[in-house]
């Protein structure tokens, strides 16, 4: 289905997806969208740690993400802790530092997701997590997916969302549901959630982009911010474990600054009634 408001965005709505949504639960409380960021993934994990710890993200909170943001969204939905995710991220970083990143990142990421995500991750993600992918034929268009048939289908979506040609595999694109696709950040850097309000989280300073609505980013805490050169380097090449820890702490502190200005009792106070199976809950 094409989005009438944003014609460059395609909604992956198969018949069984529509039926699943009818049986599901519509959540209109604030959702959180995580940007692409490459190996700045620990920044997102730090933000998520604060949001979960302080009650902003609950078991039903809508999530969305591109690339690194898609990974963290799936991890949150799976029920894993952010500390566990950080340890797995360090495993990926160490692997890429020792064996190289070019042409093999996609396979390494797939193996780790298959090993560490629970088997029911896809059911926990259905209707809650939106993964952004870029479909490249016949022209680049954003593709949003929020229903997954299996754990493998979810992993395929996340890997497609993270597919940077030259990094992920020795080919210019990947196949997702019979479509040629690449990294979701090309068209949907911070995709919308299913909530009435989406809080956008960017691993790069919001001032770098002409994008509206970025609320949590390194701009929240300039004194704690890394330099432009450091962030760009760490996004492309995985840093040592100490860098991952630093990024995690940066994300946590930036989210804490945002939290001071947006108390949880205020930001969730505007949520509309939950609707389940067509009736108010």
Which residues are part of the catalytic machinery?
Answer: 67, 183
Question: Quick check: 54 and 264 in contact, CB under 8 A?
Answer: yes
What is the dihedral sign for C-alpha 127, 131, 135, 139?
A: positive
Structure tokens given for 44: 């997102």
Measured over all CA atoms, what is the biggest interatomic distance in the chain, rounded to whole angstroms?
54
Question: Quick check: 259 and 54 in contact, CB under 8 A?
Answer: yes
């Amino acid at each position: 289905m094409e989005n009438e408001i944003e014609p460059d965005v395609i909604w992956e709505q198969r018949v069984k997806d529509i039926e699943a949504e009818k049986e599901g639960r519509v959540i209109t409380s604030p959702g959180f969208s995580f940007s692409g960021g490459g190996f700045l993934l620990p920044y997102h994990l730090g933000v998520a740690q604060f949001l979960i710890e302080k009650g902003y993200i609950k078991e039903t909170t809508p999530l969305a993400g591109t690339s690194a943001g898609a990974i963290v969204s799936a991890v949150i939905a799976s029920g894993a802790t952010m500390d566990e995710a950080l340890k797995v991220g360090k495993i990926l970083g160490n692997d890429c530092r020792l064996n190289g990143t070019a042409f093999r990142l996609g396979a390494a990421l797939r193996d780790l997701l298959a090993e560490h995500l629970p088997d029911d991750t896809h059911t926990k993600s259905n209707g809650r997590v939106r993964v952004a992918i870029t479909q490249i034929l016949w022209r680049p268009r954003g593709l949003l997916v929020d229903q997954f048939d299996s754990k493998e289908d979810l992993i395929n979506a996340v890997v497609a969302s993270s597919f940077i040609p030259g990094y992920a595999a020795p080919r210019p694109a990947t196949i997702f549901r019979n479509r040629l696709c690449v990294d979701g950040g090309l068209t949907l850097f911070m995709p919308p959630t299913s909530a009435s309000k989406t809080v956008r989280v960017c691993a790069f300073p919001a001032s770098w982009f002409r994008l509206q609505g970025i609320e949590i980013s390194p701009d929240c805490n300039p004194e704690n911010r890394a330099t432009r050169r450091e962030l760009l380097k760490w996004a492309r090449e995985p840093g040592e474990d100490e860098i991952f820890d630093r990024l995690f702490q940066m994300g946590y502190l930036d989210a804490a600054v945002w939290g001071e200005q947006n108390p949880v009792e205020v930001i969730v106070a505007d949520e509309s009634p939950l609707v389940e199976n067509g009736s108010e809950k």
